[in-house]
């Protein structure tokens, strides 16, 4: 990942990079003809991937006894609610 978003948890860093790649693909699709269909598909995929990623992050935090897990989880839930509306 070339030092962009490293948190030294390989699974989480890998998912961060996957999400960045997906968002970059969405950006590329915005300039194409019939981009509306592709954008809608990308947004659904991004939302699903973010939800899955948050679940992984929360598991890692639980396993490591992260002291502000509840607050972080609440932030995740707020973001997912905002994305879904």
Q: What is the pLDDT of residues 13-56, one digit of tens each?
A: 888 888 899 888 888 877 776 667 777 888 888 889 999 999 99
**Residue matched to tokens 């990079």:** 17
Evaluate if residue 79 carries a pLDDT over 50: yes
The model's pTM is: 0.74
> 11: which residues sit within 8 A by CB, 6+ positions away?
56, 60
């Amino acid at each position: 990942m070339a030092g962009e978003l490293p948190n030294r948890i390989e699974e989480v860093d890998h998912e961060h990079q996957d999400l960045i790649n997906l968002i970059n693909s969405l950006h590329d699709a915005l300039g194409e003809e019939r981009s509306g269909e592709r954008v809608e598909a990308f947004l659904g995929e991004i939302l699903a991937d973010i939800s899955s990623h948050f679940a992984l992050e929360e598991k890692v935090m639980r396993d490591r006894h992260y002291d502000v897990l509840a607050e972080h989880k609440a932030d995740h839930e707020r973001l997912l609610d905002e994305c879904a509306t």
